Amino acid sequence: MNAIILIRHTETDLAGKFCGHSDPDLNAVGQQRLDSLAEEVAPLGITRIFSSDLRRASQTATFIAERLGVPVEYRSGLREIHLGAWEGLSWEEVQQQYPSEAQLWASDFPMRRAPAGEKYRDFVARVEAEFKAVIANHDTATPAVVTHRGVMQYALTRFFGFSEDDARKQTENYGAIVVATPLDVREIDYTGIRA
């Protein structure tokens, strides 16, 4: 199978804050990054784009798709994990407003979710389903997936053989591009999904 191109959306005004299912538009910095991002991925032979349906990802994907002349499909399963009551807050604000929950979350993640947030196992299940479909159905194509850092980190470790540390580093920047070749889907153990 050809490589899959994973792309993190560009910047929003919620940079540095918990922004799971929050739905901000790209900010001016994010808009300016789109031109260079499209130029960087142009030589990679992308034939189709799958994107989170949240605006920051869909705006990034739409720009690239129009520039490359390829179709884009928006998928709610590619959304970032929902962070409930912590959406829009910085970690410092979370620690101030939810001190005991923040401490428990930091020590027990992924077993513990943010208050009113999505369970990690539910997040994993939808990301697994999305990437299994992309990998299984595109043997001769070069798809791109435009999504969020948490989604990319999980997918890179689960489907592409990256270490957690390497996945974290590769996805650190807004507009990050990771070219990855999937492991053989038949050899991936789907029974080990964490809580």
Query: By three-state DSSP, how is residue 71 classified?
Result: coil
**What tens digit of pLDDT does each residue of 63-112 get?**
999 999 999 999 999 999 999 999 999 999 999 999 999 999 999 988 89
Shared-domain flag, residues 160 and 193: yes
For residue 74, report the phi and psi dihedrals to the nearest 5 degrees.
-95, 130
Burial class for 107, CB neighbours closer than 10 Å (0-12, 13-18, 19+): exposed
Q: Where in the sequence numbering do the catalytic residues fall? A: 9, 80
Shared-domain flag, residues 101 and 173: no
CATH number for position 68: 3.40.50.1240
Shared-domain flag, residues 123 and 65: yes
158 has a pLDDT exceeding 90: yes
For residue 20, report the phi and psi dihedrals to the nearest 5 degrees.
-75, -85
188 has a pLDDT exceeding 60: no
DSSP codes, 65-93: HHHHT--EEEEGGGSPPP-GGGTT--HHH
Q: Is residue 113 part of a domain?
A: yes
Shared-domain flag, residues 90 and 155: no
**What tens digit of pLDDT does each residue of 159-173 get?**
999 999 999 999 999
Print the domain residue range for 64.
1-12+46-81+119-195
Shared-domain flag, residues 75 and 89: no
Structural domain count of the chain = 2
